[in-house]
């Protein structure tokens, strides 16, 4: 007899081979989305579910969803229904899709980021629910060689009746589980061939390997096992021969948490960095049978003299709830199949699974008695093979199979096409990130949906790097982008991306001269507004009319080369000691503020590029000059909006827009910009200042996507009261390490924790981090070699 040590070292040397087809109860397709059971006792349908986010979700919401699951179970109640729930965690490679960049730096960032993610072991968690509807068996016995036509017609009618019944039940399932994102499995068309998604799922459960299974009229059970499967000698290990080979260990739950199960009890294992298949089945019992089983258990507890008074009272309460119809009872089984691509990997993963489950007070034990039965019982309908059967109330099952998951984002069918980028997450699952929010089950490409985004984070946590990384990724959509910058933090990246960059300096002409823009009613209205802002004060109706007449004169009577703000000054009536001309004098000719809007030539040239950067540091704190400059810049940006993707990117957005004249921009423009295929990407390191600014707060309210970077000094009132984070989300944000590169991504009610770590891209970070030292070095280098990226980039990064 082998010792335990020998069994551990040579687990499969004395293995027994098992063929699953002869034991499984799944038959063939009777509809694209319906399988019959082999013994004629029922039918099944399966859904893949997105699940609901949980890591930053309040317990109250999760408990409400759990109660909804209990109601769902009750609605399909009776002794003729059963559900199998699977959680499949497996390795995955993020699918970015093909992207073309017409800029070398953007392509370089994209290629290196893809390479970085491809080298990391990323996981995905897939959720599946199978509904089984049982019926009296009307299968033709094997010994019966001839069946009269009437008998065949009766069988066909009965089958049609039960197929209609399960389809009717399916609509009920999809309505009840709408928030979980159900997608019914059926027949998939790939390359002109049909494949059975049901068979592909069940094949994975049997082998741990994803493969395509052609749609066929044969029983599905014959298509599932692609290779030979062996089980070890009383050590719960199994091996599926194939390419690749799969190893695993089966576990049962020996002991549940003493305090009982909650909605979060079974979430811990989702943090695992290993592959597994978790199977739970729940077969509803008729109330009379359930009451009998519970009463028997209660009597055994009393006779055993081991249960506490509270446990006995709890059992009595469960019996009363069952009789009142508040809960259902069912036969429950659980198995955990921990996988690896080698024996050593499987055993190491198994130890980590035990540790994670023990954190929630579960005691996992290897299924050494019947791992082959646990393997077969993963397939729905295998009632006779379920190991360690228990009787539990529906609320307990709803907690154990809560259908929680990490959000995956949306890869395809977004307003601008494929996902903007893929972010890593603490769960090691890829998150397909978009600025827009669109329905998961809808192809929203080319739809004009909201995409305004706000990024919040303390100083030094990577906010600029994150925003510039998004700007690089945005280049695949060939958008028009206007970046309003502070401290020249984005200059290197914008120049690397081939963009035009202007750093405004006090006393030097800005190059803004709206009077030389195309003559339109909009341009004239803007010029009138600018003059009104410059002269200031409470204008009378006569003064407004004088300004209107002066602007009209400039556009209609002054030569193009002479059109500028100074020409307006000449056309204004010089009346009184505080006349319009005197008030405008500081803004024209040799006045102290002539540099702002009185440029002899308009040099903005927004038709020369797709990407523009403007540094407004010099006037950001200057209440007098900030408003007219921003008015002119925002108006100029309107000329870039032509139906192609467009975005404003604005650092410390609340400050440049703090003047009341921007109320319309904050309230109306950010609503209508989506209709023009545009959005705003706003960032700040001062959340409280943004909220205290009336316009800043309005802009935040217009943002559909919120990105929260670490902020150890975060204020509860700001984040929960102002930004409407949940208390759980606030605690996450406050406790993110400043160097963790973590962020909370929130769209609507859902949120998830993601990570952007570009540590392997040191060369590119020279541009993406935007340090002042590198900006000043670039000034010196450009003075020597010019603005050509190919000339200055090697000198800046030290790579010649």
Q: Name the phi and psi angles at 89, rounded to 5.
A: -110, 125
**pLDDT tens, position by position, 651-696:** 999 888 888 888 888 888 888 899 999 999 999 998 888 998 888 8
> What is the C-alpha separation between 657 and 699, in angstroms, rounded?
10
* Whole-number Å distance between alpha carbons of 637 and 647: 10
Backbone phi, psi, residue 704, to 5°: -85, -25
Give the number of other CB atoms < 10 A from CB of residue 4: 9
HEC string of 335-364 equals: EEEEEECCHHHHHHHHHHHHHHHHCCCCEE
Q: Does residue 375 have a pLDDT over 60?
A: yes
pLDDT band at 9 (very low <50, low <70, confident <90, very high): very low
CA 614 to CA 636: how far, in whole Å? Answer: 12
How far apart CA 166 and CA 172 sit, in angstroms, is 10
In terms of Cα–Cα distance, which of 571, 545, 534 is closest to 556?
571
Q: Is 190 in contact with 57 (CB distance < 8 Å)?
A: no
> What is the tens place of the pLDDT at every residue in 430-471?
999 999 999 988 999 999 999 999 999 999 999 999 999 999
Cα angle at 147 between 144 and 148, to 5 degrees?
150
Separation in Å, CA 435 to CA 430, 438, 451, 475, 661: 16, 10, 5, 14, 27
* DSSP symbol at 721: I
Yes or no: say if 338 and 274 are a contact pair by the CB < 8 Å rule. Answer: yes
Mean pLDDT of 363-386: 93
Question: Can you give the pLDDT at residue 307?
Answer: 64
Angle between helices 789-797 and 104-119 (to 10 degrees): 50
The confidence score (pLDDT) of residue 8 equals 34
Nearest to 229 by CA among 379, 332, 127: 379
**Best mean pLDDT range from 96-105, 114-123, 547-556, 657-666:** 547-556
Taking the C-alpha atoms of residue 474 and residue 682, their distance in angstroms, rounded to an integer, is 15
Residue ranges of alpha helices (H) inside 190-273 are 197-207
The whole-angstrom separation of Cα 602 and Cα 324 is 80
Read off the pLDDT band of 233 (50, 70, 90): low
Instruction: Give the angle 751-757-758 at the CA atoms, nearest 5°.
Output: 140
pTM of the predicted protein model? 0.89
Residue 15 neighbours by CB distance under 10 Å: 17
- Pairing type for strands 705-708 and 453-456 reads parallel
Rg (CA), the chain: 34
Residue 248 confidence (pLDDT): 92
DSSP SS3 for 768: helix
Dihedral of the alpha carbons of 778, 779, 780, 786, in degrees to the nearest 10:
90
CB 615 within 8 A of CB 501: yes
Cβ-contact 124, 408 below 8 angstroms: yes
Domain boundaries, the chain: 4-285+328-400, 453-512+604-760, 516-589
What's the count of helices (H) and strands (E) in the chain, helices before strands? 28, 27
In sequence order, what are the beta bridge partners of 176?
none
**Kind and range of the H or E element at 541?**
helix 541-557
Give, in order, the Cα–Cα distances in Å from 696 to each of 9, 347, 613, 700, 796: 65, 54, 21, 6, 37
- CATH fold for the domain made of 453-512+604-760: Rossmann fold (3.40.50)
Cβ distance 315 to 294 under 8 Å?
Answer: yes
Q: Which pLDDT belongs to residue 13?
A: 44
Confidence label for 559 from pLDDT (cuts 50, 70 and 90):
very high
CA gap 195, 29 in Å, rounded: 12
Length of the chain: 800
Closest CA to 270 of 278, 280, 282, 260: 278
Please calculate the CA angle 412-414-420 and round it to the nearest 5 degrees. 80
pLDDT band at 237 (very low <50, low <70, confident <90, very high): confident
* Per-residue pLDDT, 427: 87
pLDDT score at 234:
65
Q: pLDDT class for 632, splitting at 50, 70, 90?
A: very high
Give me 218's structure tokens: 């044969």
Give the C-alpha separation, 527 to 564, whole Å: 10
Both structure tokens of 364: 């996992």
Closest CA to 499 of 612, 582, 628: 612
781-795 pLDDT per residue, tens: 999 999 999 999 999
């Amino acid at each position: 007899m082998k010792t335990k040590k020998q069994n551990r070292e040579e687990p499969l040397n004395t293995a027994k081979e098992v063929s699953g087809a002869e034991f499984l109860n799944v038959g063939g397709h009777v509809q694209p989305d319906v399988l019959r059971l082999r013994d004629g006792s029922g039918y099944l349908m399966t859904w893949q579910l997105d699940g609901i986010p949980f890591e930053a979700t309040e317990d109250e919401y999760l408990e409400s969803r759990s109660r909804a699951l209990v109601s769902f179970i009750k609605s399909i109640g009776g002794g003729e229904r059963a559900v199998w729930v699977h959680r499949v965690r497996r390795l995955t490679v993020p699918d970015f899709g093909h992207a073309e960049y017409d800029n070398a730096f953007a392509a370089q960032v994209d290629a290196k980021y893809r390479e970085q993610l491809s080298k990391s072991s990323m996981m995905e968690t897939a959720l599946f629910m199978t509904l089984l509807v049982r019926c009296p068996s009307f299968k033709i016995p094997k010994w019966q060689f001839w069946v009269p036509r009437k008998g065949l017609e009766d069988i066909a009618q009965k089958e049609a009746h039960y197929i209609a019944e399960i389809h009717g039940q399916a609509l009920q399932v999809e309505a009840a589980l709408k928030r979980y994102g159900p997608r019914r499995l059926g027949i998939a068309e790939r390359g002109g061939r049909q494949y059975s998604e049901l068979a592909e799922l069940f094949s994975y459960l049997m082998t741990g390997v994803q493969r395509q299974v052609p749609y066929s009229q044969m029983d599905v059970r014959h298509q599932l096992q692609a290779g030979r499967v062996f089980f070890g000698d009383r050590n719960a290990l199994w091996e599926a021969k194939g390419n690749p080979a799969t190893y695993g260990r089966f576990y049962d739950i020996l002991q549940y948490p003493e305090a009982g199960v909650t909605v979060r009890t079974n979430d811990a294992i989702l943090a695992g960095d290993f592959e597994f298949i978790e199977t739970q089945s729940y077969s509803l019992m008729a109330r009379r049978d359930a009451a009998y089983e519970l009463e028997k258990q209660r009597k055994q507890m009393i006779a055993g003299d081991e249960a506490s008074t509270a446990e006995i009272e709890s059992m009595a309460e469960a019996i009363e709830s069952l009789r009142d119809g508040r809960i259902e009872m069912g036969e429950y089984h659980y198995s955990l199949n921990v996988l690896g691509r080698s024996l050593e990997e499987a055993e190491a993963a198994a130890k980590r699974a035990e540790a994670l489950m023990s954190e929630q007070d579960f005691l996992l034990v290897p299924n050494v008695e019947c791992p082959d039965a646990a393997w077969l019982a993963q397939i729905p309908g295998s009632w006779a093979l379920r190991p360690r059967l228990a009787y539990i109330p529906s609320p307990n099952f709803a907690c154990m199979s809560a259908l929680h998951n990490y959000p995956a984002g949306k890869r395809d069918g977004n307003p601008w096409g494929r996902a903007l980028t893929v972010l890593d997450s603490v769960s090691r699952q890829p998150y397909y990130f978009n600025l827009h929010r669109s329905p998961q089950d809808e192809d929203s490409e080319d739809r004009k949906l909201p995409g305004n985004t706000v990024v919040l984070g303390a100083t030094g946590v990577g906010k600029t790097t994150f925003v510039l990384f998004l700007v690089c990724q945005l280049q695949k959509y060939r958008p028009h982008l206007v970046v309003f910058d502070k401290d020249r933090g984005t200059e290197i990246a914008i120049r690397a991306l081939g963009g035009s960059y202007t750093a405004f300096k006090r006393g030097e002409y800005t190059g803004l001269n709206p009077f030389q823009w195309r003559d339109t009613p909009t341009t004239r209205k803007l010029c009138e507004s600018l003059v009104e802002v410059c002269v200031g004060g409470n204008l009378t109706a006569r003064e407004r009319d004088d300004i209107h007449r002066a602007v009209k004169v400039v556009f209609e009577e002054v030569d193009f080369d002479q059109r500028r703000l100074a020409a307006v000054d000449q056309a204004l009536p010089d009346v009184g000691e505080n006349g319009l001309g005197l008030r405008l004098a500081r803004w024209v000719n040799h006045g102290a503020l002539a540099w702002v809007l009185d440029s002899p030539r308009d040099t903005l040239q927004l038709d020369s590029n797709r990407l523009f950067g403007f540094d407004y540091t010099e006037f950001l704190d200057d209440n007098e000059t900030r408003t007219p400059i921003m008015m002119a810049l925002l108006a100029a940006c309107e000329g870039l909006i032509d139906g192609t993707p467009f975005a404003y990117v604005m650092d410390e957005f609340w400050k440049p827009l703090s003047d009341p004249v921007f109320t319309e921009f904050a309230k109306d423009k950010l609503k209508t910009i989506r209709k023009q295929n545009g959005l705003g990407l706003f960032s700040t390191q001062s959340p409280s200042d943004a909220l205290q600014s009336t316009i800043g707060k309005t802009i935040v309210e217009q943002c559909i996507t919120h990105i929260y970077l670490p902020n150890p000094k975060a204020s509860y009132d700001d984040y929960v009261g102002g930004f409407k984070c949940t208390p759980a989300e606030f605690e996450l944000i406050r406790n993110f390490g400043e160097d963790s590169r973590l962020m909370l991504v929130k769209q609507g009610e859902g949120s998830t924790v993601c990570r952007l770590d570009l540590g392997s891209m040191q060369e590119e970070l020279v541009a993406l981090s935007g340090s002042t030292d590198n900006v000043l070095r670039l000034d010196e280098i450009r003075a020597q070699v010019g603005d050509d990226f190919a000339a200055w980039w090697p000198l800046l990064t030290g790579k010649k």
